[in-house]
Structure 1
């Protein structure tokens, strides 16, 4: 049975995509077959559009980690998925449909990493379905601890409140988060960052699995894949 890792963030822009790439690269380095899935991508124009240019999250993960990726829905507006879909006249699949596709894809891989859009409560469909709903449904398909939910958080001021709120929301649905990934760790961390690295697991009761350095996404793919496993604490390596 595949291991399913659902990755959310405390907010948008916290380094979630690079964290997904790091998780995928570490799993590939451990000899696993890996698929990264992005159920809904917003803010990216279609590949054949004259406005196309910025790579989608799935493209970034594929380049950095060297794993298979799949994007299920793409919307051009840089907005929450349900709002972007409404503005573009698109009917989004319900989260149960996303889960069915992910489950079908998962049968061919050791690990499937599902990347959300923004925070855990962002609506992924027109019926109010969120990434939390995706995680709950995937947990029903992958019982016995094969579902993991990972929270990507910022290192600086404000992260304690945002991270604890996110963790509590996940626990409120009966899921214990597997761990935290600190995104964009500065080369010269200040007092707040150093203290937060201690206070994040203490305040949430959730371990820090990895610390991803700032600028990791700009590394050459070969360098990224070589260094990514070292960003994980020893006990959290795949």
Structure 2
């Protein structure tokens, strides 16, 4: 798996922190890692974006590439149109990822918002770039009420497009999860048809980089270079 696309079920659910954790765990395992952020929205020029944040958390050995930046916090297509800037095509995203894959063991392509957010005028999405790359799509989901529907819809959209997914990572697991969060742990795999591959604690992005790198493998399944166990996690947080 040289290219892994990281998509969310929505926005502000911990996708960048999950991407950073995967990068940190893979780097700790001795792999060379690149993080590609095709479209950064909601930030002016000169301000560190998601790709730069991944390097800050995961370590300076990680390569960060951002293809386009749009100042308003909107879908890439809308933000580009309003700013009078060029949009990104799936081919451009795939070409950049393939170039990075030629010199890195793992390339993480972090999307913007959910899987089907539009990137250009033709309505192309992150799913189209993943298809061109023949790359699996990891789904980042929130733990709370409503996640069963959004995660299952995302999984169905992937299958409808012939795209593979290794599974789901919980993007921001609370320190004191409520009943819905605990039930969703058990119900997500059955509802979405995808296995749980990790849970990143809420607030992890605020850790000191050294603490983040040391802790990251414990949040992720061995398939993501970690030591996390879904069985042990479910046992620790029973639905009651």
On whether the aligned pair clears a TM of 0.5, the verdict is: yes
Matches within 5 A, 1:183-202: 183-202=171-190
Q: RMSD over aligned Cα, in angstroms?
A: 1.2
Residues paired across the two proteins, number:
224
Task: Kindly state the Cα deviation for residue 149 of structure 1 after the two structures are TM-superposed.
Answer: 1.1
Higher relative contact order (Cα pairs below 8 Å, separated by 6+ residues): 1
From 210, 224, 227, the counterpart of 2:198: 210
After TM superposition, give the deviation of residue 148 of structure 1 in Å.
2.3
Q: Which whole-Å CA distance do the structure 2 matches of 1:233 and 1:33 have between them?
A: 19
Matched with 2:68 is 73
Mark the CA change 1:60 to 1:235 in structure 2 (over 3 Å): closer, same or farther: closer
| Contact map agreement 1:94 1:126 (CA 8 A) in 2 | no
Alpha-carbon distance in structure 2 between the residues aligned to 1:175 and 1:224: 31
The corresponding residue for 1:59 is 52
SS at match of 1:183: strand
User: Structure 2: which 5+ runs fail to align?
Assistant: 227-240
* Deviation digits for residues 172-198 of structure 1 (CA, Å, limit 9, x no counterpart): 111121110101100011111111011
Q: 2:77 touches 2:120 (CA, 8 Å); kept in 1?
A: yes
**Cα 1:101–1:182, aligned 2, differ >3 Å: closer, same or farther?**
same
User: What is the distance in 2 between the residues matched to 1:4 and 1:42?
Assistant: 22
In 1, the alpha carbon distance for the partners of 2:194 and 2:225 equals 16
Separation (CA, whole Å) in 1 of partners of 2:38 and 2:223: 29
1:234, CA displacement in angstroms? 4.2
| 8 A contact 2:138–2:166 mirrored in 1 | yes
CA distance in 2, matches of 1:163, 1:191: 18
The 5 Å alignment of 1:60-209 reads 60-66=53-59, 67-139=62-134, 147-209=135-197
Tell me the distance in 2 between the aligned counterparts of 1:150 and 1:105: 19
| Superposed structure 1 runs of 4+ greater than 4 Å apart | none
State the 1:125 CA deviation.
1.7
TM-score scaled by length of structure 1: 0.91
Distance in 2 (CA, whole Å) between partners of 1:96 and 1:61 is 24
What secondary structure does 2:136 align onto?
strand
Q: Distance in 2 between matches of 1:102 and 1:28?
A: 18
